[in-house]
Chain A
Amino acid sequence: MGAVMSVEEIVGSLESGMTIGIGGWGSRRKPMALVRAICRSSLTDLTIVSYGGPDVGLLCAAGKVRRVAAPFVTLDSIALEPHFRAARQSGAVHFTEYDEGMFMFGLLAAAHRLPFLPTRAGLGSDVMRVNPGLRTVRSPFEDGEELVAVPALTLDAALVHLDLADTRGNGQYLGPDPYMDDLFAKAAVRCYLSCERMVEPGELAGPPQTLLVSRMHVTGVAETPNGGHFTDRGPGQPRDEAFQRHYAASAAGPEAWAEFTGRFLSGDEAAYQEAVRQWHEEERR
Chain B
Amino acid sequence: MNGATRAEVCVVACAEAWRGDGEMLAAAMGTCSILGARLARLTFEPGLLTTDGGALLTAEPVPLGAPAGAVEGWLPFREHLWLVQNGRRHVMMGASQIDRHGNTNISAIGDWARPSSQLLGARGAPGNTICNPTSYWIPRHSTRVFVPKVDMVSGVGFDRAAELGPEASRFHALRRVVTDLGVFDFRTPDGSMRLVSVHPGVDVGQVSAATGFDLEIGGDVPETRRPTDEELRLIREVLDPASARDREVRA
Assess A179 versus B154: contact at CB under 8 Å? Given A80-B120, A145-B168. Answer: no
Interface residue? B127 (CB, 8 A): yes
Say whether A120 contacts B155, CB under 8 Å: no
| Complex CA distance for A79 and B123, rounded to whole angstroms | 12
Report yes or no: B153 in contact with A71, Cβ–Cβ below 8 A. Answer: no
Contacts of B129 in A (CB 8 A): 124-125
**A166 and B77 alpha carbons, distance in the complex (Å):** 25
Out of B119, B125, B152, B168, which one reaches A130, CB within 8 Å? B152
CB distance from B126 to the nearest CB of A (A): 4
Size class of the A contact interface (CB-based, 8 Å): 35 or more
Which residues of chain A from 237 to 263 have a CB within 8 Å of any chain B CB?
none
Give residues of chain B (133-176) contacting chain A, Cβ–Cβ below 8 Å: 152-156, 160-161, 163-164, 167-169, 171-172
Residues of A within 8 A of B163 (CB): 124
Measured in the bound complex, the distance between the Cα atoms of B77 and A71 in whole Å is: 13
For the complex, is A73 an interface residue (Cβ under 8 Å from B)? yes
- The answer, among B112, B122, B152, for a CB contact under 8 Å with A98, is B122
Cβ of A237 to closest chain B Cβ, rounded Å: 15
In this complex, the member of B56, B153, B164 whose beta carbon has the largest number of chain A beta carbons within 10 angstroms is B153
Give every chain A residue within 8 A of B43 (Cβ-Cβ): none
Contact mask for chain B residues 164-191; partner A; CB cutoff 8 A; 1 contact, 0 none:
1001110110000000000000000000
B11 at the interface (CB under 8 A from A): no
Interface string of A97-141 (1 = CB under 8 A from B): 111111010000000000000011111111101100000000000
Q: Which of A52, A101, A104, A130 has a CB less than 8 Å from the CB of B112?
A: A130
Instruction: Please name all residues of chain B whose beta carbon is closer than 8 Å to the beta carbon of A120 when the two chains form the complex.
Output: 85, 127, 130-131, 168, 171
Q: How far is the CB of B37 from chain A (nearest CB, A)?
A: 19
Prevailing SS type, chain A contact patch: loop
Q: Which of B74, B121, B152, B172: most chain A Cβ within 10 A? A: B121
Q: What residue in chain B is nearest A176 (Cβ atoms)?
A: B55
Spot the interface stretch: A37-45, A83-91, A186-194, A195-203.
A83-91
A143 in contact with B122 (CB, 8 Å): no
On whether A99 and B126 interact (CB within 8 A), knowing A143-B167, A176-B76, the answer reads yes
The residue on B at minimum CB distance from A87 is B118
- Give the contacting residue for A124; candidates B77, B107, B169; CB below 8 A: B169
Q: Which residue of A lies closest to B159 (CB)?
A: A124
Residues of A near any B CB (own CB < 8 A): 25, 51-52, 70-74, 79-80, 84-85, 88-89, 91, 97-102, 104, 119-127, 129-130, 143-147, 176-180
Some 25 contacts from A to B, beta carbons below 8 A apart, are: A71-B124, A72-B123, A88-B108, A88-B118, A89-B118, A97-B122, A99-B123, A99-B124, A99-B126, A100-B77, A100-B127, A104-B81, A120-B168, A121-B127, A124-B168, A124-B172, A125-B129, A125-B130, A125-B154, A127-B122, A129-B153, A130-B113, A143-B167, A176-B54, A176-B56
